[in-house]
Structure 1
Amino acid sequence: MTTIGFIGLGIMGGPMAANLVKAGYDVVGCNLTQPPVERLVAAGGRAASGIAEATRDADIVITMVPDSPDVEDAVLGDDGVLANAKPGLLLIDCSSIRPATSRAVAEAAVAQGVRVLDAPVSGGEQGAIDASLSIMVGGEAADFETAKPVLDAVGKTVVHVGPHGAGQTVKAANQLIVAGTIELVAEAIVFLEAHGVDMDAAIKVLAGGLAGNAILDRKAANMLKRDFTPGFRLSLHHKDLGIVQAAARDAGVAIPLGAVVSQLVASMVARGDGSLDHSGLLKLVQELSGR
């Protein structure tokens, strides 16, 4: 049985680890707080006291942590993944981080005989629960083929998109599109409500036409109810949009709409709304409209 060390059992990592247990893998998980580890154990996984224990006997290690410095600490730290990896370990980083960080981590790992893939995911909490995530993978093609059965256990669309860092670049584009779409859906909802339209009917017909998108399908119902329980927090999307802006500058690419949405997200985080779901952009649109 393949043993998978899973580092980071939060909103996304917890369901992903549980789905790997369901798929028949021996999953050993660790987290900064204990309740997520207890949930993994209840699902049939095993608990690790920390990164070293999760890594030591693992064939594959998956990291799912918030930001670039967290990945660097988890992988490159004194008692991190590389310090405890057995020969031939495959490290799959599912975090959303800077492409340059992914490339630097891969370089350090390969020098130590550890194979690495950057494999950020999209689909939110429900996608993680349903094992229907979209996973964009950067790294060596042979390593991707080795990882594919594992990734298929947590995702529905699993695609190799290029060398180290390419997965993170595609994820940045994903977050740009998602943020822009949420903002436009929020504006459309406030616009329609101001005109007294039957909202359920309006959402149904919009979702069936050229304006149809995953945000209408998955987020609109809660947006109408003003339920912003986080599936993906605004604070994390703020971080991701920072990655997008930096990568766009590096490439000399203009992202005018993305820049505006980034400012709107940043303003919500700055005023204390970072813990809301990213569909909470509706709250700001409503306030700007005086409604």
Structure 2
Amino acid sequence: MGALDGWKLGWIGVGRMGTPLCRRLLEAGAEVTATDPDHTRIAALAQEGLRAAMTAAGLAEQTDIILSMVPNDAALLAVTLGPGGLAEEIRPGQVFIDLSTVSPATSAQVAEALAARGADYLRCPVSGSTSTAASGTLTIFASGPEAALDRCAPLLGVLGKETLRCGTAEEARAVKLMVNLVVALTPAIIGEALAFGGRLGLDWEAMVEALSKSVVASPLLAYKAGMLKARDWTPAADLDLIAKDLDLALAVGLREGAPMPLSALARQFAAAYQASGEGELDFFRLATWPERLLAPNPR
């Protein structure tokens, strides 16, 4: 017996993160119907039991709980408030869970529209990577109605190792942006330390090993240590994505009067890599930023 036997779920967005998460739900016994602008993504999981729907509204007609993992604010608005969106068909008793990283303001628009339909809305952005999504070890920041969170706890338990309840409205959105600021700044700071050590004649791999075994070690650095040592920038989360998250946070900070000079600097580093056509590389490519100041053709 699977943890989600008998659950009828809808899923919006079968991309880099959505694919392993859908697979976990299927393996837990859920009946999952999905929609995505790229229909080949759904076809790739069809043999594992994933069903297809043409629109988000179609999911609301067929399922009890709908989840989404989409890339940005515009995509969330399109699948909820746009033509064929959830707001056309979602009804009282249904729950919409969005796992994406989006702005609190856009999320509040969605909340207002779904409240008018009598549906529950859970904001559940996740912290982790494609590998932690596949293993079910994401951390989930959750806010929304307590009763809906209680109802969906077994489902969230399949997707993540821990669900941190943050509040009843947009608090989870703020927490995720706060965490992502530290995530975005980490490779920039590490890059400066590695450049310093390199000037003193230290070996690149030895420096990464020292950092990963020191007081500054973190789960993020542990996950990225092998990538850093090999200088392999195959993306788990790419620079374009982290730049989008920084833009979201900086916009909120500007509106709220929060000083964010370091985050703004990290955004400019990301912009430099994007300008050179490297936006699709892993965001830990930012650790090589000092090399841009020292050599015209960094590796």
TM-score (norm 2): 0.92
Partner of 1:263: 268
Instruction: Provide, for residues 233-286 of structure 1, a one-character-per-residue CA deviation record: whole Å limited to 9, x for no partner.
Output: 111111110111111122221122111111111222233211111111134332
Q: 2:208 aligns with which of 192, 203, 208?
A: 203
CA apart distance, 1:194: 4.1
Q: Which residues in structure 2 correspond to 1:203-282 (within 5 Å)?
A: 203-282=208-287
Residue 122 in structure 1 maps to residue 127 in structure 2: yes
Q: 1:72 aligns with which of 47, 56, 77?
A: 77
Partner of 2:103: 98
Q: Distance in 2 between matches of 1:233 and 1:44?
A: 29
Partner of 1:52: 57
Do the aligned residues in 2 keep the contact of 1:229 with 1:277 (CA within 8 Å)?
Answer: yes
CA apart distance, 1:205: 3.4
Instruction: Provide, for residues 71-110 of structure 1, a one-character-per-residue CA deviation record: whole Å limited to 9, x for no partner.
Output: 0110011211121224311000111111011111111101
Q: Which amino acid aligns with 2:182?
A: I
SS of match in other structure, 1:79:
coil
Do the aligned residues in 1 keep the contact of 2:78 with 2:85 (CA within 8 Å)?
Answer: yes
Do the aligned residues in 1 keep the contact of 2:189 with 2:287 (CA within 8 Å)?
Answer: no
Q: Distance in 2 between matches of 1:265 and 1:191?
A: 20
Q: Distance in 1 between matches of 2:115 and 2:279?
A: 36
Instruction: Provide, for residues 104-150 of structure 1, a one-character-per-residue CA deviation record: whole Å limited to 9, x for no partner.
Output: 11111011111001111111111111111111112122211112111
CA apart distance, 1:198: 4.1
Choose 110-119 or 196-205, whichever is displaced more. Answer: 196-205
SS of match in other structure, 2:289:
helix
CA apart distance, 1:215: 2.9
Q: Distance in 1 between matches of 2:13 and 2:215?
A: 38
Q: Distance in 1 between matches of 2:108 and 2:197?
A: 45
Q: Distance in 2 between matches of 1:18 and 1:7?
A: 13
Choose 125-134 or 200-209, whichever is displaced more. Answer: 200-209
CA apart distance, 1:201: 4.0
Q: 1:26 aligns with which of 23, 31, 37?
A: 31
Q: Which amino acid aligns with 2:139?
A: S
Instruction: Provide, for residues 36-93 of structure 1, a one-character-per-residue CA deviation record: whole Å limited to 9, x for no partner.
Output: 2123222222222332333321111111111111101100112111212243110001
Partner of 2:169: 164
Partner of 2:15: 10
Do the aligned residues in 2 keep the contact of 1:2 with 1:26 (CA within 8 Å)?
Answer: yes
Q: Which amino acid aligns with 1:223?
A: L
Q: Which amino acid aligns with 1:246?
A: A
Q: Which amino acid aligns with 2:285?
A: G
Do the aligned residues in 1 keep the contact of 2:73 with 2:102 (CA within 8 Å)?
Answer: yes
Q: Which amino acid aligns with 1:42?
A: Q
Residues 189 and 107 (structure 1 numbering): CA distance in 2 closer, same or farther, change over 3 Å?
same
Q: Distance in 2 between matches of 1:225 and 1:194?
A: 19
SS of match in other structure, 1:29:
strand
Do the aligned residues in 2 keep the contact of 1:29 with 1:40 (CA within 8 Å)?
Answer: no
Structure 2: any 5+ residue segments left out of the alignment? 1-5
Q: Which amino acid aligns with 1:197?
A: L
Q: Which amino acid aligns with 1:171?
A: K
CA apart distance, 1:11: 0.5
Identity between Structure 1 and Structure 2 (%)? 32
Q: Distance in 1 between matches of 2:273 and 2:33?
A: 37
SS of match in other structure, 2:154:
helix
Q: 1:135 aligns with which of 134, 137, 140?
A: 140
Q: Which amino acid aligns with 1:190?
A: A
Residues 283 and 42 (structure 1 numbering): CA distance in 2 closer, same or farther, change over 3 Å?
farther
